[in-house]
Structure 1
Amino acid sequence: MRTYFGLVHQEGGSAYGVQFPDVPGCFSAADDIDDLVANAAEALSLHLEGEEMPPARSLTAIHTDSDVAKELAAGAFLVAVPVIALTGRSERINISMDAGLANAIKQTAKARKLNFSSYLADLARRDIMG
């Protein structure tokens, strides 16, 4: 997993727009600030699909970028956006948990027409991505 910093702009009553200084050409938007990181993470994943992930600068390095500094001075702000580089291959793992919790997960997954692994992977992905 890699974390990129998104530069967020919002003017008046418009949507929040996000651009990524370390991923040129990738943009995202959200009408609600609570959807900002999730939408940005999805945009990053789609933009980088099948591509080599560019290096991600640290927060300190982003702050010292003169272009970013100008945007921040004009009212923009930064958000940390995680992106998971999916490989397309499955990996078998062994986990342990309370039997009652495992049973509840199995029942919920079945009700949603998912298997145990898919359900847990989806929950983890959504939690990581915000």
Structure 2
Amino acid sequence: MKYPIAIEPGTDTTAWGVVVPDLPGCFSAADDGVDEAIENAKEAIAAWIEEAIANGESIPKPSSITELQKTGEYDGWIWAIAEVDPALIDDTIERVNITLPRRILALLDQRAKSAGESRSGYIARMTLMH
């Protein structure tokens, strides 16, 4: 997925500001220019999407830069694209095979059981918490 981002140029004393217009409240910053701003925007977008999914909210589709430029809200800003992995919003169940030492697997199963969850459910929840 490719989200347009608006980047406000920084100075020697201020950071570069980044806004993702399609994702309300999604923003970021960078100290070292456009490349860092784009990378930081990718992280902000991923975090925004994770939070929205956790709250049962829908994920807006990306707009075109041309559409967003017409609003005039970010005149003078630099436009770029932040590409994020579409797997972030794909809830398709996928079977995986992992290799773990028996002691780690036993500990994992013990913690999952204590939490009242399956092994898969426990791994998924722990992953989403961090």
TM bracket (short chain): 0.5 to 0.7
The residue type equivalent to 1:40 in the other structure is A
What is the deviation of 1:66?
3.0
What is the deviation of 1:46?
0.3
Q: Using the alignment, how far apart are the partners of 1:7 and 1:57 within structure 2?
A: 12
Give the 3-state SS of the residue equivalent to 1:22 in structure 2.
coil
Change (3 A) 1:84 1:52: farther
Q: Using the alignment, how far apart are the partners of 2:36 and 2:95 within structure 1?
A: 30
Map 1:1-130 to 2 at 5 A: 2-13=1-12, 14-33=14-33, 34-49=35-50, 50=53, 51-67=57-73, 71-72=74-75, 75-85=76-86, 86=88, 87=90, 89-90=93-94
What is the deviation of 1:10?
2.5
Q: Using the alignment, how far apart are the partners of 1:40 and 1:55 within structure 2?
A: 16
Task: Note the aligned Cα RMSD (angstroms).
Answer: 2.0
Percentage identity across aligned positions? Answer: 33
**Count of residue pairs the alignment pairs up:** 86
What is the deviation of 1:21?
1.2
Q: Using the alignment, how far apart are the partners of 2:95 and 2:63 within structure 1?
A: 29
Normalising by structure 2, we get a TM-score of: 0.57
What is the deviation of 1:52?
2.7
Bigger Rg, structure 1 or 2: 2
Change (3 A) 1:31 1:91: farther
Give the 3-state SS of the residue equivalent to 1:32 in structure 2.
coil
Runs (5+) with no aligned partner, structure 2: 97-130
